[in-house]
Chain A
Amino acid sequence: MLKCGMSGTQVKVFGKAIQALSRVSDELWLDPSEKGLALRSLNSSSSACGYVLFSSVFFEHYQWSASKEMNDDGRSLYLNCKLGMKSILPIFRCVNSFERYVEKCKIFTTSDKCKVVIQFFCRHGIKKTHNVCFQESSPLQVNFEKKMCCNTLMIQPRLLAEAMVLFSSNEDVTLAVSPLNLCLKSAHGELADLTNSVYSEMLVGPDEFDFFQVGLDTEITFCCKELKGMLIFSEAVHVPMSIHFDFPGKPVALSIVDMLLEANFILATLAGNSSRSCSPQSLCLSQAGKRSDWRQLNSKAGQRGMHKPPECISRKTTPKRLCPQGTPVKNSAAEDHGSPQLKKANLDNIHEVPRSSVGDTEEEPNSFSRRKFSSMFFGAVSSDQQEHLNQPFASLAMASDSEDD
């Protein structure tokens, strides 16, 4: 049972987080725990994953009591609540006016566990209640050791936002660093595209950053839609944003860390030579080819619940193919009902049904460097994985969570 309350100012930040996550995906997981309330989203092509954790002290009051029902292993149920962005985003549409208009906001789950209730107590005694039905689905995560990246930059969001106006949201952008400077530039597409589009480049010197550590001269390419979303959120909470990355192909982490909240966006980057060699088409084909290998690799490592960090990036060619057929998560009707049949099934089924459908999207994107990366990745965090093996349905802790322990 979740029960929490926020003031008008706090709910504005909460709403901004939801808006930022809406840039990642059309689905939002509400994942409360003793630590606080986490919001998660993962996009359909598994190339971007968002996570915002509001610690329990962020709220005016926060209460999370694990349900009385226990499963066979004696572990408590998590909320496993997945909401459609289409349902929840309009509730937080006018966040900027929340400070003035909303006095208090309460969010709680009902005892029958298929609805989340969001109540706004506004001026003049007006009370707005939104009942949002959710689909039961255990949240998906990505493990990423951001502290292990060679390159870490911390920048005031305003400075980077000025650079981002150069690029439209659907573009891929390349971040190139050297110890001397950072260069943000349009990603090189196929040669044919270049004759029509403007190529833009911005150079930023190290002294504009709060923290500038470059261990590896590198260039990474990723989609700027999520970066823009994170920048807007970072500006709203007045906390600088850090960027953690390594070589191309390894995901980039954008993160905001504050006493009250923590946000991480993990984005896939183009593998291979960042400029032209990785044509979108070839990325897709190799994905299909490598799919069976990935499953083997996955089960070999015993990481059935493990989710790969996404790598496929090209929006132009990925989406339709990677979206699995007949997945319940895409069915808008399912979002409205609480999928009662899932609830009654035992935990393993609940865990698996949504997971295998969404899990497909996880497993499809593949390329040579991904495999190479995956094995490196397993090696790096294998010690952490043992404890998770026994909780197949539980959300895997983010790397940052484990550091807090």
Chain B
Amino acid sequence: MKFRAKIVDAACLNHFTRVSNMIAKLAKTCTLRISPEKLNFILCDRLVGGGVSMWCELEQENFFSEFQMEGVSAENNAIYLELTSENLSRALKTAQNARTLKIKLTNKHFPCLTVSVELLSMSTSSRIVTHDIPLKVIPRKLWKDFQQPSVPDADVSIYLPVLKTLKSVVEKMKNISNHLVIEANLNGELNLKIETDLVCVTTHFKDLGNPPLASDDASRDRDPAEMAEVHVDIRKLLQFLAGQQVNPTRALCNLVSSRMVHLDLLHEDVCLQYFIPALS
């Protein structure tokens, strides 16, 4: 197994750092999948995440000026690694003013991802910072747990409001109760509801817009005003929102009534999918 990659462009480096920071907020431990075309950050552990799954994908050629990998074997040309997300984001934090960033898979007593940064400095000698991030290699037989989740047929698909607004609303609601009801319809209306014995709070978002319907009969027959509803743990939604530091290029919410909330975000060229199951 081999992997080495290099970033020389400052904008690419910043973008990669932002992605890494986002992942660190969404999942404490995650799986990094390296394949010839893509890098994926995956969280598919149903028990640990409380049922939450995450799939983040980026095209390697949008970031790296050099990218070489050799998977486990020719037929299985991929590498699956498990690491603590925060270690990567902290290592990248030091690369703010870097001339180049190199990442490679190494084995120093145990498998590591070595992040090596050449910093710009005033004098002639440049400073080199190296981080060895310990990780675990995931064996081939477990790879099936980390496949791309199938996108479910949603009852309602709606564009999300500005995430910062959504986050401040959800943060306040969390103080009242952990049980959140998300409902939306095809008229661009989204409601967040919290209910206790004493109080019931609803926040209404209007004119959000819905993506064009697929040529799927079930969706076309649906009454636009009819709300699809999912009950979720508010903390899971809040954790997702906390990870979004920057406003995405596109943010979609797909509701499968009483089953799950599927959040589909696009940050420039990085796609993030987050699945929150309904409360049983």
Contact = CB atoms under 8 A, between A and B. Distances in A.
Nearest to A181: B125
Contacts of A207: 123-125
A331 interface: no
Interface in A184-198: 191, 194-198
B94 A208 contact: no
A200 interface: yes
Interface stretch (B69-77, B128-136, B191-199, B228-236): B128-136
Contacts of B31: none
Contacts of B119: 162
A197 B91 contact: no
B158 to A, nearest CB: 41
A203 B110 contact: no
B134 A195 contact: yes
15 contacts: A165-B94, A196-B134, A198-B87, A198-B90, A198-B91, A198-B132, A200-B91, A200-B129, A200-B131, A202-B129, A203-B127, A205-B124, A205-B125, A208-B123, A208-B127
Contacts of B130: 200-202
B250 interface: no
Nearest to A165: B94
Contacts of B109: 191, 194
A288 interface: no
Nearest to A168: B90
Contacts of A162: 94, 119
A275 to B, nearest CB: 13
A209 B24 CA distance: 35
Contacts of B125: 181, 204-208
A201 B133 CA distance: 12
A204 B123 CA distance: 10
A205 B127 contact: yes
Contacts of B87: 198
A199 interface: yes
A166 interface: yes
B121 interface: yes
- How many residues of B sit at the interface, in one of the four size bands? 20 to 34
B110 A195 contact: yes
Interface in A147-165: 159, 162-163, 165
B127 A198 contact: no
A79 to B, nearest CB: 44
Given A200-B91, A203-B127, A205-B125, 14 more contacts: A159-B121, A166-B94, A181-B125, A195-B110, A198-B87, A198-B90, A198-B131, A199-B112, A199-B131, A200-B130, A200-B132, A202-B130, A203-B129, A208-B125
Contacts of A191: 109
Given A194-B134, A196-B134, A207-B123, A202 B110 contact: no
B129 A201 contact: yes
A168 B127 CA distance: 20
| Chain A CB within 10 A, most for which of B108, B112, B119, B129 | B129
Contacts of A194: 109-110, 134
Contacts of A181: 125
A196 B90 CA distance: 14
Nearest to B128: A203
Interface string B103-126: 000001110100000010111111
Nearest to A185: B130
B204 interface: no
A206 B84 CA distance: 35
Contacts of B2: none
Contacts of B131: 166, 198-201
A6 B44 CA distance: 61
A146 B129 CA distance: 29
B93 interface: yes
A338 B133 CA distance: 52
Interface in B129-146: 129-134
A12 to B, nearest CB: 27
Contact of B132 (A199, A203, A205, A208): A199
B93 A165 contact: yes
